[in-house]
Chain A
Amino acid sequence: MISLTVLEVYSSDLGDLNQQLRDKAHQAPAFFRNAPVMLDFEHISEEVDIDWLDSANRLLTGNNFVPVGIAGAPTSLEYAARARGIAIWPSSGTERQPSEPRQPEPEKPQKVATPPPVQPLTKVLHQPVRSGQKVYAQGGDLIVLASVSTGAEILADGHIHVYGTLRGRALAGVQGDESARIFCHDLQADLVAIAGYYMINDDLPADKRQTAVQIFLDQEHLHIESL
């Protein structure tokens, strides 16, 4: 069984669509990243053409969704879409007439045709992470209830918490999440990085070494603040 997200389009306002896609993706980034999305035109009264569809698909990919086709579109749009190699899914209702007068329902950008999104899994480690070991918490946060040795690497798509001494490398937000943070009880890291922006041990501020800190990204700079 494959899960597919259906996006019911009620308005042709692309700006609105983009904002709502962004909000939705933000709600559960791990769940919706690369999620296949089908556009359902069943409920839209306005005419939309293939150029609109192209723009809409670009918005989808821009927000890390994957457009996988359309449904409930007027025949003209279907024809053009087919020509472009865009998949046509069977619609739930009868074929729509473009001139049908209809009161658009209050904006409800999508209906999830799947069980509610699962909370991203957090990886919890109870043993020290030894030199040479590499741990990756995919799709969530990483919590280490021990120390991380020099020469070890810990990575997470989300945040990293080390309730011990961090001596190795810690890379948070490895899939690009710039809001990811790193927290540790004792900062002695070889290297810290958030969404690709990194700082090596040599560049760590002297007054923050060996103290409890949080590290976050602000305007492409790593900030290290005491906890």
Chain B
Amino acid sequence: MATVIVITSGKGGVGKTTTSAAIGTGLAMRGYKTVVIDFDVGLRNLDLIMGCERRVVYDFINVIRKESNLNQSMIKDKRVDNLYILPASQTRDKDTLDIEGVERVIMELSESFDYIICDSPAGIERGAFMAMYFADEAVVVTNPEVSSVRDSDRILGLLASKTHRAEKNMEPVKEHLLLTRYEPSRVKKGEMLSVDDVQEILAIPLLGVIPESKTVLQASNAGNPVILDSESSAGQAYDDAVGRLLGEDLVHRFLEVEKKGFFNKLRLFRS
């Protein structure tokens, strides 16, 4: 029986797809059979971020409409074992998603997968609703910025009421906060909300803090999930987050301004 994790936010552009790719890859690297599904019908991005855009034949909508089966539609990742991607349709729109179809696909995937990651579109409409409906856990991706925090709060309200678990009075969806694009230097100057500020408002457990990093853009362009870049601070932070998702107790890194060491300063003079 798979664990369904929805990566959602409410606000657009905060890092949901980047996170879905990173977490999906991270889980697969640790040996869990993982599939990442793109629910953003019509505006698909997951295939780009994961570098498989040239191998898409069938998509999620095809499977829902029984025009193809899962084996034909899922794309196996070339770099990491156990990792599969189910892309969204680009030519159709969100109205073609239907709840019975989504349920059927998730049930079928549950039989052979350990983790099903649902990459939600932005907003609180059909696509987002479908992505969160069958979730067991949710990663709420938030930027340390006021509108993102408010939208995440809205999403938390929906997770508590408009999901399968909420409607059937089961144990509630397990919520995790993932703070992305964090810049400790700006927080220190008082320009940016701190982790504590965000947690005070959202009041859910902190899964991780992903620092702002140029490597994220580079990773998107190359189609390599950033977690595969072990030198990148963002990649390492995602790796920690996956660990915490699996129950490991890891200290949060990249929260403080990095102090330039003595030797770093010397290097500047030499070059």
Contacts and interface: CB of A to CB of B under 8 A. Distances in A.
Contacts of A127: 160
B57 interface: no
A5 interface: no
Interface stretch (B22-30, B33-41, B150-158, B214-222): B150-158
23 contacts: A127-B160, A128-B203, A130-B153, A130-B154, A130-B160, A131-B150, A131-B151, A131-B153, A131-B154, A132-B157, A133-B161, A146-B203, A147-B203, A149-B150, A149-B153, A149-B157, A149-B201, A151-B150, A151-B153, A151-B154, A152-B157, A165-B200, A167-B201
A131 B203 contact: no
Contacts of B157: 129-133, 149, 152
Interface of B: 150-151, 153-154, 156-158, 160-161, 200-201, 203
Interface of A: 127-133, 146-147, 149-152, 165, 167
- List 5 tightest A-B contacts by C-beta distance, closest first: A130-B157, A131-B153, A131-B154, A132-B154, A133-B157
A167 B154 CA distance: 14
B160 A150 contact: no
Nearest to A150: B150
A187 to B, nearest CB: 15
Nearest to A149: B153
Contacts, number: 32
Q: Is the interface of A mostly helix, strand, loop or mixed?
A: loop
A125 to B, nearest CB: 11
Nearest to A165: B200
B111 to A, nearest CB: 34
Contacts of B160: 127, 130
A38 to B, nearest CB: 43
A199 B133 CA distance: 38
B157 to A, nearest CB: 3
Contacts of A147: 203
Contacts of A129: 157
Contacts of A149: 150, 153, 157, 201
Contacts of B161: 133
Contacts of A150: 150, 153
A149 B158 CA distance: 13
A146 B201 CA distance: 11
Contacts of B156: 130
Contacts of A128: 203
Contacts of B153: 130-131, 149-151
A152 B202 CA distance: 13
A50 B161 CA distance: 55
Given A130-B157, A149-B153, 5 more contacts: A128-B203, A131-B153, A131-B157, A133-B161, A151-B153
